[in-house]
Amino acid sequence: MRKYLFSAGFALLVAASISVTAVVRPAFAAEIKYVVNNMPITTGDIAHRAAFFKLQHKKGDAAQEMIDQTLRLAEAKRLGIHITDQQVDAAYQRFASGNKMPLAKLDAIMAQSGVTKEHFKEFIRAQMAWNQALSSRYRSGEGGSVTEQDAVRRMLDKGGAKPTATEYMLQQVIFVVPASERAGTLAKRKREADAMRARFSGCNTTREFAKGLIDVTVRDLGRVLAPQLPSDWAEQIKATKVGAATPTRETERGVEFIGICSSREVSDDKAAQMVFQAEGSNDKDADELSKKYVAELRQKAKIVER
């Protein structure tokens, strides 16, 4: 579920290395075109989204898409979901890195195409927030929750065999970077984190390594089943051997990596419950659930066209 939304939202063509002819666009005064639950959408917002569609070679109604995005962000806020600027910046950086381009080139593509960096970042924020809102909705209200009783029933349906899941013992290392110092110290902290990660050889010595370092937090995360791994770390954790650590990542807290203390295959009722729930989320048509959720929000919304 989570993977679907994030990747779908980021389906900007990998040909983001496309050549975009620089165009001097005429200046215009953005006017309010719609008011959605007292939140304005301007002609500028709509123009940027239309440019975004063009960059993706995608057809769509930019105005209606902006209305949907406004509703999604409002719903996420109602649910207490908050995506920080640091999270958005980190996702923007990952997008540039994933397409093998420096940030300056991505900035230029966004500017020259008429999308703008700011509009793309707000799109990222909306996708991340909606991802969490939809995952919450799926688990609680759309049949996503699998009880242990459900798991037992499914096991009986499959001849009594319990599915197995990998259980990880994890340790998190955070090189803390205060928001006020981020611009000046993030690169230095990343070098320090990379150096410690290179020395990592198991969870027993991590705190000893961290003793002489400033503002380094070591957290024992305990046992975590594979289906419970956070989506933004799951692939890296699964690809890392026991006794090693994931690559470092910039987060809203600073620079982090996760050490794999141990792993084992388990097949108890809790594991069965988590495996079946994960299977259910993969089988569910996430796009249809998203459309249904937005349709409900539209029904309740006050949308005024100016």
- Contact criterion met (CB below 8 Å) for 7 and 1: no
pLDDT in tens, 53-94: 998 888 899 999 999 999 999 999 998 888 888 888 888 888
User: If you average pLDDT over residues 162-177, what whole number do you get?
Assistant: 85
- Cα dist from 193 to 217, 229, 261, whole Å: 11, 22, 18
Task: Give the pLDDT score at 138.
Answer: 65
- Contact criterion met (CB below 8 Å) for 95 and 106: yes
Measured distance CA(181)–CA(156) in Å, rounded: 56
Q: Would you state the structure tokens that stand for residue 296, as one six-digit string?
A: 């409900």
pLDDT at 244 over 90: yes
Q: What is the pTM of this model?
A: 0.55
20-24, Cβ contacts within 8 angstroms, sequence gap of 24 or more: 20/108, 20/109, 20/112, 20/113, 21/112, 22/112, 23/112, 23/114
pLDDT at 99 over 60: yes
- Contact criterion met (CB below 8 Å) for 267 and 152: no
Task: Give the pLDDT score at 160.
Answer: 47
Q: What value does the mean pLDDT of the chain take? A: 80
Each residue of 178-193: b (16+ CB within 10 Å) or e?
eeeebeebbeebbebb
pLDDT at 154 over 60: no
Closest CA to 267 of 145, 165, 132: 165
Measured distance CA(236)–CA(60) in Å, rounded: 35
- Cα dist from 47 to 51, 111, 119, 298, 304, whole Å: 6, 13, 10, 22, 19
pLDDT at 141 over 70: no
Measured distance CA(238)–CA(232) in Å, rounded: 12
2-11, 54-63, 132-141: which range is least confident on average? Answer: 2-11
